[in-house]
Amino acid sequence: MQPSEVEKMETVTISMKNVPALYLEADNVSPDAFAGKTSAQIADLHVYEGNTTGKLGNYFEVSGNAGATAADTKIVVKGDVKRVKYIGMKMSAGEIVVEGSTDQYVGAWMKGGKITVKGNVEAFAATAMRGGELIIEGNAGNYLGAAYRGDWRGMSKGTIHVMGNAGSDVGMYMTGGEIVIDGNVDVHVATHAEGGRIIVKGNAKSKVGGQMVDGNIFIFGTIDIMMPGYKYVDTVEQEVAGTKAKFAHFIGDMGERHKTKKGQVIYGNLYTRV
Amino acid sequence: MSEYIIKNGHVFDPVQGIKGDKADVAIKNGKIVKDSEVSKSAKVIDAKGKTVMAGAVEIHAHIAGPKVNLGRIYRPEDKLFTCTPTHGHERMGSGNSIPSTFKTGYEYARMGYTTAMEAAMPPLFSRHTHEEIRDTPIIDEGAFPVFGNNWFVMEYLKNREVENTAAYIAWLLRATKGYAVKVVNPGGTEAWHWGLNCLTVNDPVPYFDITPAEIIKGLIDANEYLGLPHSMHIHPNNLGNPGNYTTTLDTLKIAQGIKPKNKFGREQVLHLTHTQFHSYKGTNWGDFESGAKEVMDYINKNKNITVDTGNVTLDETTTMTADGPFEHHLTELNHLKWANVDVEVETAAGVVPYIYSPNISVCAIQWAIGLELALYAKDPMRCFITTDHPNAGPFTRYPRVIKWLMSQRARETQINAFKHKDKVLSQTGIGAIDRELTLYEIAAMTRAGPAKSLGLSSMCGGLAPGMDADVVVYNINPEKPFENPDQIEAAFSRAACVFKSGVEVVKDGEIVSSGNKRTLWVNAKVNDNPQVMRDITEKFLKYYSVTQANYESLGHSFVPNPYALEVDATQ
Amino acid sequence: MSKKITDVICPFCGTLCDDIEVLVSDDGKKILEVYNACVIGTEKFMHSGAKDRITRPRMRQADGSWKEVSYDEAADYAAQVLAKAKKPLMYGWSSTNCEAQSMGNEIAEVARACVDNTAAVCHGTTLIAVQDIGLPSCTLGEIKNRADRVIFWGCNPAHAHPRHMSRYSIFPRGFFTVKGQMSRKLVVVDPRVTDTARMADVHLQVAQGQDYELLCALRVALKKEWLPDTVAGVPKEKIYEVAEILKSGRFGIIFFGMGVTQSLGKNHNIDEAIALTKDLNEYTKYSIMPMRGHYNVTGSGEVLAWQFGFPYSVDLTRGFPRYNPGDSSSIDLLNRGEIDAAFVIGSDPGAHFPISAVKHLAHVPLVCVDPHITPTSGVSKLHVPVAFNGVETGGSCYRMDNVPIDGRKVVDAPEGMLSDEEFLVMVRDRLKKIKGVA
């Protein structure tokens, strides 16, 4: 990419002016949906409140034109969007900054690009993430970076960074990518995971790494109740998310099936800081 | 009722031997009539430059019943982002490999299918199957109750009591509004209730001490004793395992020398289903190769057998079958979610998702085998096209399968796209086949053939006067060669118009009416058999978990529009 | 004079006993006696004859009192409510027949509503687990005929499914189980000493909230791997011992209930139990089955699935079906203030939902279709009593093992009362007219 192309990123600002009585489904608030459109055309995009279809412009003040492509498009979301769902859903490139807290499904099914939320998010953020970057400066709800119901193919690529706490069911059925949580996490971390990395700087409760086939979990804080399927192996020193520390290294889940590579069984790894 | 005349189309009708000649097809009061019998006010459908066939007949698909619904329930991901909204005459639609009942009816109709058979109905659950059939619009349907692992059948056939078996079959067909005698993994699925299986036709069933061969022979004999419209319909033992073609031939040999007996024009005594899964040579997945030639050689020589192909379509799909042990075996291979239901006294079922990836050599070889079977078939009236939906692929891929069968170029394109093309060419005979099926042969394989095999040749599968007015017009001009084989797929995917029982149901691929579908079932009369009635009463008292009265009382609300084929076996 | 009706299906719980016999008066209006049913089932039949039954719809007035209205007026109101709402919730369905459920689905599709059933507070988590890992299962007759290892995990059938053990799971003498209960070993897992636990050969008093850990430990024990000294309050020796008991059977079944579906872990508990069942199939034959509660919650799941593709928590608001409990599930919808109207039938969320959700129900236009006066009808704007399904009307229903049975009518409903299905047809027709749909 040429330096001049980097400067070609266009910013569209949408400001909530009409908080919905129910909730707004804003799957069209993504660089992919905005790309190539003027602010007037963007204001004409559909949003959904229950079974009614409205226009983005009825709920948001829209200013600025989008870039030619998703990669050239930045969206800034202002105002009270706590009742807005699906921001950044399925995006493949570009950037979104939400200047407050928002609701469910932020960046769900995203493939690329970057989303920053300067507040909290509710459940289902980054469902089945395939690439890109999601930064949540506040707390995340349940099912962060988890698979969609019934799908054994969960988050496979990309990075998620939560500066606050996260809820339950982080990284369920994860196969790749990385999730970093600066705060604490609720029950069920990396359940059924077959790859990927989850780092919790704070504390975990229980049911960490349940039914895990493969993958790596690092818990810097405490785990209230360890899964019995985790067997202590050794103590190691590792640099993780910018911190060098000593970790007790467990392998597991010993109740689950595991793959072999070149005659060696591959286990999941759980590291707890000592 | 309405009169229509479909004019100037190129008609392909194996029932009347019409091979693409321009002819008119006249419809009156739900039936096909002679052109001269419609008045001048008949609505004219212009089929100039188009192909006209009878409505297609699906002989084997899993589209209604408990394991189908278990598949739907446990695969929300099968519906993600692909649901269709309510519009016009259509209810909401959902499901790729396991469509909802509404979508099932619409998608079959859009392709020109007007009759479909649910391949395996566990008798205890027949109510459920019929509720789903009721909610499947447009297409006539029937359902095959399963008999090959049934306690009554095994106990009678151990003692070679064919007449008792026949009496039981007649009773069960009536109690469940069933259509035919279906056999799945005979004996092996009862063994599965203990975690075991029968992999050859001679493996005895635990406790019941009868072999699959005895079950198969006995059920063929009972079927012919009754003179049912369809023959015994079998999914043999050892499905899906390399080297299983020998089990298949052993199964087929049981039918040797047996003559069909019926008043429905049926000429076979055994129908072998999803033959692709049963045509494997080799000893393991490494040396896995096609046994299609061996199997089709036998089929071609033995005219009292019909088969359907079970073509692999290279999709992510869901396997579901009454071959319970096979599904357990599959989940051990691919570690995907496994559902299983063992049914007391009767049968079992299993469900496991499967991805037929073009990058996996085994899947590519399976794809080739399915096509080889149809391309080696000498008599297209005895070899029918299916995908064993959804096991080898969704039924919505039939147009694609037809494309591959009609165009060597299309096959080559697919072969070149395989990651392990060399293995496909070395392990199967697909590379050497240049045969391209004609529209007439396709009509035989998808209409006239299956209808005849099912004993429905007087009703459907053809365009002779007196038959049901199930008529389809496709946007294919037989006089213009295809520039691109994808046009074949496009044309068969979206019929120009479809009539079901004389009602226009599809127009330019859009559903314009839900029609008035019927449930086909077989009512066989036998002589009074107090022994069998006593045995039935005893088993309900001791071994079933429902009462006999509740099992038998199939209220007609579940079968709102029944059509019974009457059979008199009381000679 | 009286007549006896046999082969009656009890419309109370998921055991769906179909051997009930009911003695009714000759004029077909009064139930005199009920035979074979448990105490709960008997009461279900008998209480339909209560003298203080309300028999006509009633509308809440501004001053809080009730005024009787006709079924026509009631259907008008219900259709208006559904037509005006942006996101209505049609909830319940578990105590009605499949014909009514199907009509309800049709209404929900026209209204573009959310449809949900009582699995939302019960075995919805089981359904989530089944979607994640599958379900090796069987019909109840298989248990009767073959099972020699029976596990009740987090359920108390002695109280909640009273005839389950005598009809299917412990006492019957089946084809391969001629010694009845003597053919079987019973393991009960429950923090409490229940009446069911008192019958057990082994009672594991699992620490509350740690069923997931104990299930994991059993899977580890099967593989003969290392275990910590205690898991979930159970010593490891006991865990290895129980693993051997399970393994040594020739046909095992795990029944489970709210003790694991609605305690910490929820769907994960069931997921791990299903995984354990799958593991046991490497050694012998095992199945697992949820103890469904309402007599036809299973039916609602089946009908929703074949018509829309999902078994509960179905969102039709965008014009096509969507599903994701946590988003499309009733309690979440209510707690988050996502719905603006509600139609409740064949269930009592007023009694069973968290109070935060009930508060929302009370503040939206709520239609309650129920023969009883309940906490739900107590906060509704319109209360429509209907005939008792399975007593005064027949209709299709599905047992806990998904076996379909045709319910029977034994007596007439009180004069002038409609059935669920009849009322729903009226609502549908009016709704279609309002929406201008054919």
- pLDDT tens for chain B, 571 residues long, are 589 999 999 999 999 999 999 999 999 999 999 999 999 999 999 999 999 999 999 999 999 999 999 999 999 999 999 999 999 999 999 999 999 999 999 999 999 999 999 999 999 999 999 999 999 999 999 999 999 999 999 999 999 999 999 999 999 999 999 999 999 999 999 999 999 999 999 999 999 999 999 999 999 999 999 999 999 999 999 999 999 999 999 999 999 999 999 999 999 999 999 999 999 999 999 999 999 999 999 999 999 999 999 999 999 999 999 999 999 999 999 999 999 999 999 999 999 999 999 999 999 999 999 999 999 999 999 999 999 999 999 999 999 999 999 999 999 999 999 999 999 999 999 999 999 999 999 999 999 999 999 999 999 999 999 999 999 999 999 999 889 999 999 999 999 999 999 999 999 999 999 999 999 999 999 999 999 999 999 999 999 999 999 998 654 567 889 999 999 999 7
Q: Does residue C271 sit in the same domain as residue C178? A: yes
Other Cβ atoms closer than 10 A to B199: 18
Domain of B250: which CATH number?
Answer: 3.20.20.140
Give the C-alpha separation, A131 to A154, whole Å: 12
> Is B547 a member of any domain?
no
| C167 contacts B545? CB cut-off 8 A | yes
User: Mind listing the pLDDT tens digit for each residue in C315-362?
Assistant: 999 999 999 999 999 999 999 999 999 999 999 999 999 999 999 999
Indicate which of C133, C308, C314, C316 best probes the interface with B, i.e. most B CBs within 10 Å of its own CB.
Answer: C308
- C39 CA: distance to closest CA in chain A (Å): 39
C61 pLDDT above the threshold of 70: yes
Is the confidence metric ipTM above 0.95 for this complex?
A: yes
Q: In the structure encoding, which two tokens stand for residue A263, read together?
A: 């005659």
Total domain count, chain C = 3
Half-sphere exposure of A44 (CA within 13 A, CB side): 6
A17 pLDDT above the threshold of 70: yes
Q: Does residue C237 sit in the same domain as residue C132? A: yes
| B336 contacts A148? CB cut-off 8 A | no
Q: Does residue C93 sit in the same domain as residue C131? A: no
pLDDT of residue B481: 82
- Show residues of chain B in contact with C167, CB under 8 Å: 545
pLDDT of residue A8: 77
Element (H, E) at A125: none
Q: Does residue C131 sit in the same domain as residue C116? A: no
- Show residues of chain A in contact with C219, CB under 8 Å: 229, 255-256
pLDDT of residue B557: 65
Give the C-alpha separation, B412 to A205, whole Å: 57
From A48, which residue of chain C is nearest by alpha-carbon distance?
C318
Domain membership of residue C20 as a residue range: 2-47
| C326 contacts A150? CB cut-off 8 A | no
> Is C53 a member of any domain?
no
3-state SS, residue B192: helix
A2 pLDDT band, cuts 50/70/90, is low
**Domain-ending residue, one of C251, C274, C290:** C290
pLDDT of residue B558: 77
Give the C-alpha separation, B157 to A191, whole Å: 50
> Is C52 a member of any domain?
no
C residues 313-332 closer than 8 Å to B (CB)? 316, 318-323
A3 pLDDT band, cuts 50/70/90, is low
Contacts of C50-59 spanning 24+ positions with Cβ under 8 A: C53/C371, C53/C385, C53/C414, C54/C371, C54/C373, C54/C383, C54/C385, C55/C385, C55/C414, C55/C415, C55/C416, C55/C417, C56/C385, C56/C416, C56/C417, C57/C382, C57/C383, C57/C384, C57/C385, C58/C382, C58/C383, C59/C381, C59/C382
**Domain-ending residue, one of C245, C274, C290:** C290
Q: Taking an 8 Å Cβ-Cβ cutoff, which residues of chain A contact chain C?
A: 21-23, 25, 48-52, 85, 104-105, 123-124, 142-143, 148-150, 152, 173, 187-188, 191-192, 206-207, 210-211, 225-229, 231, 253-256
Asked if C32 reaches chain B (Cβ–Cβ under 8 Å), the answer is: no
- Show residues of chain A in contact with B335, CB under 8 Å: 257
**B563 and B516 in contact (C-beta within 8 Å)?**
no
pLDDT of residue B571: 78
User: Mind listing the pLDDT tens digit for each residue in A55-64?
Assistant: 999 999 999 9
User: Mind listing the pLDDT tens digit for each residue in C93-113?
Assistant: 999 999 999 999 999 999 999
Q: Does residue B279 sit in the same domain as residue B408? A: yes
> Is C321 a member of any domain?
yes
pLDDT of residue B415: 98
**Domain-ending residue, one of C47, C67, C83:** C47
A219 pLDDT band, cuts 50/70/90, is very high
pLDDT of residue B43: 96
- ∠ Cα B278 B104 B457 (to 5°): 65
Q: Does residue C94 sit in the same domain as residue C28? A: no
Helix B408-417 vs helix B361-376: angle between axes, to the nearest 10 degrees? 170
Domain of C152: which CATH number?
Answer: 3.40.228.10
> Is C366 a member of any domain?
yes
Residues above pLDDT 70, as percent of chain A: 97
Q: Does residue B356 sit in the same domain as residue B405? A: yes
From B75, which residue of chain A is nearest by alpha-carbon distance?
A150
Q: Does residue C180 sit in the same domain as residue C279? A: yes
Domain membership of residue B318 as a residue range: 54-453
pLDDT of residue A196: 98
Residues above pLDDT 90, as percent of chain C: 99
- B219 CA: distance to closest CA in chain C (Å): 24
Give the C-alpha separation, C295 to B188, whole Å: 34
Residue from the list C86, C223, C268 with its beta carbon closest to the beta carbon of A254: C223
**C329 and C124 in contact (C-beta within 8 Å)?**
yes
- Show residues of chain A in contact with C266, CB under 8 Å: none
Residue from the list C139, C144, C394 with its beta carbon closest to the beta carbon of B342: C139
> Is C212 a member of any domain?
yes
- pTM score above 0.90: yes
Total domain count, chain B = 2
Q: Does residue B204 sit in the same domain as residue B348? A: yes
| C319 contacts B85? CB cut-off 8 A | yes
| A255 contacts C216? CB cut-off 8 A | yes
User: Mind listing the pLDDT tens digit for each residue in C242-300?
Assistant: 999 999 999 999 999 999 999 999 999 999 999 999 999 999 999 999 999 999 999 99
pLDDT of residue B1: 59
Domain of C318: which CATH number?
Answer: 3.40.50.740
